[in-house]
Chain A
Amino acid sequence: MREIVVIGGGASGLAVALETKKRGRDVLLIEREEDLGGILNQCIHNGFGLEVFEEEYTGPEYANKYIEEFLKLDIDYHLNTTVLKIEKTNNYFEITMSSKARGIEKIKAKAVVISTGSYERSRGSIIMPGERPYGVITAGSAQRYLNIDGYMVGKRVFILGSGDIGLIMARRMFLEGAKVLGVAEIMPYSNGLTRNIVQCLDDFDIPLYLSHTVTDVKSGESNRLESIVIQKVDENFNPIENTAKVFEVDTLLLSIGLIPDIALLDNLEVVVDSLTKSAKINQAYETSVRGLFICGNSLQVHDLVDNVTLESIRAGKCVSDYLEKKLEKNNESIDIIPGKNVGYVTPQVLDFSWSPKELIISFRGKKKMEKTKIKVFQNNELVFEKFKQFIVPAEMETIKLDYSKLNKFDELGISLEEL
């Protein structure tokens, strides 16, 4: 029986494993790829670590800082190993995993941490009309082909969605000699970080078409993409007539969002939040199943890896507390609800059996706002308030509040108000 099994060896899983190990816990990390580091390995651009290290690193450099420490601490891990199933019995979890080296095996653990990251939304999850030629691929896949395998997926490229991966790929493909004809975003604002808009599009004169989407995909005689049509959309996202623009491209990269990968939770009775598309958690990153924790991009999609690390360290601390039986016998809990202008919130539950009295709440605004007050209410009473100059949906907000003062009955609501 292991104390903790961490699933996923990306930024989140590494941080959890390090934190729990440092606290003297027994931990095993399982990673399906042949290297630790996760998605950071293919993010060879700069911009990681400003928050944690106050210095800029590339993705692999950032990952390496943690991998080195991980190896130094001699933490147990399996590479090339895919977890197939997690089952829960009364007191422990049973994890089924598969690898070439060891076949299919089962291990038991007292606590499990899901750090499985996210997957990219593909063409199928949005309604994109047209034909289905080759050449419509997710930006992350193209990034992997480019940065890990060393191959270019296209010469003339258009990008749908202004998520950060799309923006980074616009620059990357441009620098590799591709023609990048533009980026279309269905929302009236970009979904990427402002610095990426400037550094990846503006600096290379790549046009950004806000309130536009792809309304046709065409192949010619062959099975390769030949052209796409974009159109402006109205407030209800319906295409507006006579706004069509045609682009002759061989590649359409999709950067239309990430979805937490929680496939492993399918046969556990975990309560899922339709807003985050992941498990609901309490302030200790614990799902509705006792002893099952989740953090990183498999909990909520982050825009900065630094926040993943910080969040996962906190989760690691909570898992350790859980094993040290620091929980109080207390069944009281209240819900935390996204209110006006708030897209989602984590944690969704405040569970009073958990001790540290500090509550860290992450959320995203639903729209771009200026001069905003972040307000937290309980039973119509303002319990927290903070001023924020700008709110953009692309950037996750985090607030800290002391919850020893909260009552244990009424739900907490978070809202954003423009002044």
Chain B
Amino acid sequence: MFDYIVIGAGIVGSTIARELSRYQVKVKVLDKENDVANVQTLANSAIIHSGHNPDPDSLKAKLCVWGNKLYEKMEEELSIPLLKSGAYVVAHNKTEEEKLAELYETAKINKVPEFYYLDSQEAKKQEPNISKNVTKVLSLPTTKVTYPWEVAFACMENAIMNGVSLQKNALVTKIIPNNEYFEIEVNGKQIFKTKNIINAAGVACDDIAGMVEKEVPYKVHGRKGEYFVLDKRVKGFVNHVLYPLPSDKGKGVLITPQFHGNILIGPTSEYVDDKFNVSTSFEGLDYVKTHAKELAENIPFNDIIRSFAGIRSSIESGDFYIEESKEFKGFYHVAGIDSPGLTSAPAIALYLLKEVIKIDKKQKINKDFNPIIRKQREFHSLSKEKQIELLKEDARYGNIICKCEKITEKEVIDAINGELGSDTIKGIKKRIRVGAGLCQGGYCEEKVMRLISREKNISPLDVKYDDKASKLFVGETKVNKL
């Protein structure tokens, strides 16, 4: 019998799992995917928003500002990547400047710790590529950019270190509430018993809730966001996150510098019928291009290396819904976690445990809890001395596997065999950026395939891109078979 089962291993499920592991409770996390952070947490803008945008008094406002602060603590404890970029919201004319003033007021009420206006001249000095037509800017120095799945990995790994168990490829298919506990059916066969369930299933949160509640208090209306990624050779094109003024379509198309030097352009915001279909479209990507041009001059579209889409798990209220079920005690909804869900995630976890579950009244503290993970940054970003020292310990740091991102054999092997290791091409790419560069894996995928096969002692025929349907190969060639 588990004390808590968390459904969903996105950023929200991962931060919750980590917070739960501070207590003496038996916790399991279930996710249908073959990896942590494979859905919303994999496809978003990666921005740790300041909290200048959500409606005052909303849960989003409170948790966004709080979450933003908690990221600095996570940086210290979990060695997560955090680019302290700051952000500019730009206005192009008097009408927009009035809207900017409204945002300024919102920021004040929401208790954003720092924000101020810049005139167009100062903005252009700081960001030479900012649009010529900008007349005024709201500067938000606490805005940051992270690397979302790495945050989820760090939280989940830390949770596992502290006793939580994770089961991947575990699709929850049915939930049976009993008086004292719940039974969760996974993949139509395995059954787990648990006293409490935390529903952190992202876009599927209403489906999960529907397995328990007679009337689900929300419905997910998937909202798609499409993006372009520019190669990291454009690093420095902009150094702040550039926002247009928000509209009824959300925060609009942004230009976002990424932690590793890439630039992200997007997203769109379109309601979709199929909330699981993350396809891109000509129209969407066109929209992104057109609108990005309102923010900056001479965007190097020639350096596009990838496009992708993500789906936001929006619900009607527009706010997060974090409550215990009225009818089924011990079932907790963490729903409607669309943007700024990434930012808010660590605060969502604390809010859920402290204010909704009131866990301190129920559970004892886990005295052995260790909040620290020391993660070594990319080998080739370390100092020369450190590199030489590591090379002496392990020559495999000398073997470059991914030449675009300069990732070494030792790092690939660690990503395969680590605590939260992965044996898929996509999983390795998420962990150490092998294949995330200019050639998009054209050069290194084969090398990673061979390393996975060697380290896991499996045939190349069993190496997968992501889930089991995505094996790299369908068979051997005629020559090989002989």
Q: Is B473 an interface residue (CB 8 A)?
A: yes
Quick one: given A100-B409, A150-B477, are A32 and B472 in contact (CB under 8 Å)? Answer: no
Select one of B285, B380, B396, B474 contacting A154, CB under 8 A: B474
For the complex, give the distance between the alpha carbons of A224 and B467 in Å: 9
Query: How many Å from the CB of A282 to the closest CB on chain B?
Result: 25
Residues of B within 8 A of A133 (CB): 470
Determine whether the beta carbon of A125 is less than 8 Å from that of B305: yes
* Chain A residue nearest to B33 in the complex (CB): A223
> For chain A residues 381-398, which have a beta carbon within 8 Å of chain B?
none
Residues of A within 8 A of B281 (CB): 129
Determine whether the beta carbon of B442 is less than 8 Å from that of A119: yes
Query: How many Å from the CB of B294 to the closest CB on chain A?
Result: 20
> For chain A residues 74-128, which have a beta carbon within 8 Å of chain B?
80, 82, 84, 98-104, 119-120, 122-125, 127
Q: Is A286 an interface residue (CB 8 A)?
A: no
Q: Is A266 an interface residue (CB 8 A)?
A: yes
Determine whether the beta carbon of A223 is less than 8 Å from that of B307: no
Select one of A119, A129, A149 contacting B460, CB under 8 A: A149
> For chain B residues 435-466, which have a beta carbon within 8 Å of chain A?
438-443, 445-446, 450, 460-461, 465-466
Determine whether the beta carbon of A127 is less than 8 Å from that of B307: yes
Determine whether the beta carbon of B439 is less than 8 Å from that of A120: yes
Select one of A32, A103, A120, A135 contacting B395, CB under 8 A: A103
Determine whether the beta carbon of A129 is less than 8 Å from that of B279: yes
Q: Is A404 an interface residue (CB 8 A)?
A: no
Determine whether the beta carbon of A98 is less than 8 Å from that of B400: yes
For the complex, give the distance between the alpha carbons of A215 and B279 in Å: 11
Quick one: given A124-B307, A250-B474, are A223 and B466 in contact (CB under 8 Å)? Answer: yes
For the complex, give the distance between the alpha carbons of A140 and B442 in Å: 8
Please indicate which of the listed interface residues B277, B285, B397, B399 has the most CB atoms of chain A within 10 Å of its own CB: B399
Q: Is A340 an interface residue (CB 8 A)?
A: no
Over the window 220-256 of chain A, the binary record of Cβ atoms lying under 8 Å from chain B Cβ atoms (1 yes, 0 no) is 0111100000000000000100000000001000000
> For chain B residues 300-353, which have a beta carbon within 8 Å of chain A?
302, 304-308
Residues of A within 8 A of B399 (CB): 80, 98-100
Q: Is A409 an interface residue (CB 8 A)?
A: no
> For chain A residues 123-163, which have a beta carbon within 8 Å of chain B?
123-125, 127, 129-135, 138, 140-141, 144-146, 148-155
Query: How many Å from the CB of A252 to the closest CB on chain B?
Result: 14
Quick one: given A102-B398, A103-B398, A145-B472, are A134 and B466 in contact (CB under 8 Å)? Answer: yes
Q: Is A176 an interface residue (CB 8 A)?
A: yes
* Chain A residue nearest to B396 in the complex (CB): A100
Determine whether the beta carbon of B279 is less than 8 Å from that of A131: yes
Select one of A100, A102, A104, A127 contacting B285, CB under 8 A: A127
Determine whether the beta carbon of A122 is less than 8 Å from that of B439: yes
Select one of B285, B403, B408, B477 contacting A151, CB under 8 A: B477
* Chain A residue nearest to B400 in the complex (CB): A82
Determine whether the beta carbon of B442 is less than 8 Å from that of A122: yes
For the complex, give the distance between the alpha carbons of A182 and B404 in Å: 32
Quick one: given A119-B443, A141-B446, are A132 and B472 in contact (CB under 8 Å)? Answer: no
For the complex, give the distance between the alpha carbons of A146 and B470 in Å: 17
Select one of A122, A146, A223 contacting B467, CB under 8 A: A223
Please indicate which of the listed interface residues B280, B396, B439, B478 has the most CB atoms of chain A within 10 Å of its own CB: B439
Over the window 174-214 of chain A, the binary record of Cβ atoms lying under 8 Å from chain B Cβ atoms (1 yes, 0 no) is 00110000000000000000000000000000000000000
Residues of B within 8 A of A103 (CB): 388, 391, 395, 397-398
Query: How many Å from the CB of B310 to the closest CB on chain A?
Result: 11
For the complex, give the distance between the alpha carbons of A82 and B282 in Å: 38
Determine whether the beta carbon of A129 is less than 8 Å from that of B467: no
Quick one: given A119-B438, A131-B279, A223-B467, are A153 and B474 in contact (CB under 8 Å)? Answer: yes
Determine whether the beta carbon of B440 is less than 8 Å from that of A151: no
Residues of A within 8 A of B403 (CB): 32, 82, 263
Determine whether the beta carbon of A122 is less than 8 Å from that of B473: no
Please indicate which of the listed interface residues A123, A124, A130, A239 has the most CB atoms of chain B within 10 Å of its own CB: A124
* Chain A residue nearest to B466 in the complex (CB): A223
Q: Is A217 an interface residue (CB 8 A)?
A: yes
For the complex, give the distance between the alpha carbons of A64 and B396 in Å: 29
Classify chain A's interface size: 35 or more
Residues of B within 8 A of A120 (CB): 439, 442
> For chain B residues 259-302, which have a beta carbon within 8 Å of chain A?
277-282, 285, 302
For the complex, give the distance between the alpha carbons of A131 and B473 in Å: 20
Query: How many Å from the CB of B237 to the closest CB on chain A?
Result: 15
Select one of A100, A123, A140 contacting B440, CB under 8 A: A123
Query: How many Å from the CB of B398 to the closest CB on chain A?
Result: 5
For the complex, give the distance between the alpha carbons of A155 and B387 in Å: 45
Residues of A within 8 A of B466 (CB): 134, 223
Residues of A within 8 A of B404 (CB): 263
Quick one: given A104-B387, A104-B388, A132-B278, are A145 and B400 in contact (CB under 8 Å)? Answer: no
Determine whether the beta carbon of A124 is less than 8 Å from that of B278: no
Query: How many Å from the CB of A370 to the closest CB on chain B?
Result: 33
> For chain B residues 468-482, which have a beta carbon within 8 Å of chain A?
469-470, 472-480
Query: How many Å from the CB of B189 to the closest CB on chain A?
Result: 18
Query: How many Å from the CB of A134 to the closest CB on chain B?
Result: 4
Q: Is B229 an interface residue (CB 8 A)?
A: yes
For the complex, give the distance between the alpha carbons of A144 and B449 in Å: 12
Q: Is B174 an interface residue (CB 8 A)?
A: no
For the complex, give the distance between the alpha carbons of A133 and B472 in Å: 12
Residues of B within 8 A of A221 (CB): 469
Determine whether the beta carbon of B446 is less than 8 Å from that of A144: yes
For the complex, give the distance between the alpha carbons of A145 and B476 in Å: 10
Quick one: given A127-B285, A129-B281, are A134 and B308 in contact (CB under 8 Å)? Answer: no
For the complex, give the distance between the alpha carbons of A65 and B305 in Å: 37
Determine whether the beta carbon of A224 is less than 8 Å from that of B470: yes
Q: Is B406 an interface residue (CB 8 A)?
A: yes
* Chain B residue nearest to A99 in the complex (CB): B398
Residues of A within 8 A of B443 (CB): 119
Determine whether the beta carbon of A141 is less than 8 Å from that of B442: yes
Select one of A127, A131, A263 contacting B438, CB under 8 A: A263
For the complex, give the distance between the alpha carbons of A145 and B473 in Å: 9
For the complex, give the distance between the alpha carbons of A218 and B476 in Å: 25
For the complex, give the distance between the alpha carbons of A84 and B446 in Å: 20
Query: How many Å from the CB of B210 to the closest CB on chain A?
Result: 20
Residues of B within 8 A of A149 (CB): 446, 450, 460
* Chain A residue nearest to B463 in the complex (CB): A151
For the complex, give the distance between the alpha carbons of A141 and B472 in Å: 11
For the complex, give the distance between the alpha carbons of A286 and B440 in Å: 29
Determine whether the beta carbon of B476 is less than 8 Å from that of A152: yes
Query: How many Å from the CB of A229 to the closest CB on chain B?
Result: 11
Determine whether the beta carbon of B277 is less than 8 Å from that of A131: yes
Determine whether the beta carbon of B282 is less than 8 Å from that of A129: yes
Select one of B387, B388, B395, B472 contacting A100, CB under 8 A: B395
Residues of A within 8 A of B304 (CB): 124-125
Quick one: given A150-B477, A151-B460, are A124 and B229 in contact (CB under 8 Å)? Answer: yes
Q: Is B358 an interface residue (CB 8 A)?
A: no
Residues of A within 8 A of B280 (CB): 129-130
Quick one: given A127-B282, A129-B279, A223-B467, are A153 and B473 in contact (CB under 8 Å)? Answer: yes
5 new A-B pairs (CB below 8 Å) besides A100-B395, A151-B461, A152-B476?
A: A100-B398, A133-B470, A152-B473, A223-B465, A263-B403
CB pairs A–B below 8 angstroms (28 shown): A32-B400, A80-B399, A82-B400, A100-B398, A103-B397, A103-B398, A104-B387, A119-B439, A122-B441, A123-B306, A123-B440, A125-B305, A129-B279, A130-B280, A132-B278, A141-B442, A141-B446, A149-B450, A150-B479, A151-B460, A151-B461, A152-B476, A176-B478, A215-B282, A222-B469, A222-B470, A223-B466, A239-B282
The 4 A-B residue pairs with the shortest CB-CB distance in the complex, in nearest-first order: A222-B469, A150-B480, A124-B306, A134-B470
